[in-house]
Amino acid sequence: QVQLVESGGGLAQPGGSLRLSCAASGFTFSTYAMSWARQAPGKRLEWVSGIYSDGSDTYYADSVKGRFTISRDNAKNTLYLQMNSLKPEDTAVYYCGRKAVRATSWSAVVGYDYWGQGTQVTVSS
């Protein structure tokens, strides 16, 4: 069965960095586009960044552009999110998701057929 397991979250100071990982199994990882999304307390799930199946193109929400970098290693079935210059407003549970084959929008979270269990990121001094 499809499994997505996030790791790497934790506590960071404003201006600091964290690197999230998402280990995928149960499907052919290299044939699916993937994304990261986040959910802050009391807010909706918000798309953060996406990457094509072969890593050839990446996309970012305006709120993280220039600070976050998405990447993938298809040989290791792993998705990454490098987060730099962290801000308190980046505090959220971060999820990796598999983009459904027929989904046309990157940012519409309904277009993803599987999500992981999430990893907590807290940015605070």
pLDDT in tens, 53-63: 999 999 999 99
What is the average pLDDT across 43-71? 96
Classify burial at 8, counting beta carbons within 10 Å of its beta carbon; exposed 0-12, middle 13-18, buried 19 or more. middle
**Tokens representing residue 1 in the block:** 């069965």
Give the separation between CA 61 and CA 69, rounded to whole angstroms. Answer: 11
pLDDT in tens, 16-32: 999 999 999 999 999 99
38: three-class secondary structure by DSSP: strand
pLDDT of residue 107: 85
